[in-house]
Amino acid sequence: MYLLQIASQLAIPASHCAWVDFSEFLWADFRAADWKLLHEVALELSDGAKPVFFLDELQELAVYEAGLRYLQNQGTRIFITVSNSRFFIRDLAASLRGKVLPYRLFTLSFQEFLRFKAVPFPDSLSSSQTARRNNLLVEYLTWGGFPEVVLAEREDLKRHLIDSYIDTMLLRDVLDRHSIKNLAVMDRLFSKVLLSFTKEFSVHRWYNDFRSQGYRLSKDTLYEYLGHLEESLFVHTLENAANPAAAHKIFLVDNGLYQKVKDQPDLGRLWENACCLQLLREGNTVRFWRDEDGEVDFVTDTALIQATYELSGANRTRELYPLKTVSGKLAGRQAMLWEFPEMQPGVVPD
């Protein structure tokens, strides 16, 4: 879908587009020598104009670097989608002599969610419109922003789609790609990741937990498996800006993944996860802060952000005091409060 959007936005004539989905079985026997044939066929179909290649699921090919360099040397434009990783992008950039512009595709933002739902809202909302918007935001927090899930009307279908995405991400992108044999450990680790989102985690504690339950593994294996989950863009981890060597926090790539382990979601944690994704979607480098003065949910290059589902007398000091103290330690950053339902800068109360 995203490749189609690119072709439309760039107004590329359909006859100039060469589409290949390498996840289809028809391409299973694609060889290095076939790249030249692919270019010749595309050139013929484009009536002599330089074809533009749209290559989907490129990671399905065992060898692709030489073929991409060949297309590049023919002066063609190439758009690629992959179930990506930082290491894949690094290696791809090296093989193509740095001529790569990577772009991380996230699931839908809340505004995109509303457009998919065909529910426009004016800038000024009535009471009924505000209530409807808030109900839709709760739906977004609960089920996430995978487009097919957003458009599905029944909850059982939404859950089925999320399960299928998890199977794809976990089984194909992680287990198969890395030839992982210890499936029991990966399954258990996966459950821990889902239950630990928005929380600090310790691989050392997880290792002790695994050992106490009779699992045979090394601590290095846990680090390796967790790295595979992050590499596949299944999760994001944030470091502590106050102490980068301290425990990191873990966030899910989409709120809907939480449906795998719990039917009644914690809206506070889902709100924090959605705020983190929005910051990443906007291109921010995101960390958090925890020291003896408390915790700030997100630290960017320009802001300190506390994400709270509801500010009340019970949590007011816990939420606001760290913002004020850390502001003195990280000068030049604006202190912000993101309180449901506004995923945008809010006034920090006195």
User: Mean pLDDT, consecutive 10-residue segments, the chain of 350 residues?
Assistant: 83 91 87 92 89 88 84 90 60 65 85 90 84 92 95 94 86 80 88 92 92 90 89 89 94 93 82 96 95 94 93 88 91 90 62
At 39 the pLDDT is 94
Who's near 187: CB < 8 A, 6+ residues apart? Answer: none
Sheet strand arrangement including 303-308: 287-291, 294-299, 303-308, 334-339
At 91 the pLDDT is 63
Give helix then strand counts, H and E, for the chain.
13, 10
At 163 the pLDDT is 92
Residue 294 CA to residue 302 CA, distance in Å, equals 20
**3 state DSSP class of 209:** helix
At 342 the pLDDT is 72
**3 state DSSP class of 100:** coil
Model pTM score: 0.84
Residue 341 CA to residue 333 CA, distance in Å, equals 23
At 86 the pLDDT is 47
Whole-angstrom CA distances from 290 to 274, 304, 312, 338 are: 20, 12, 21, 18
Element (H, E) at 303: strand 303-308
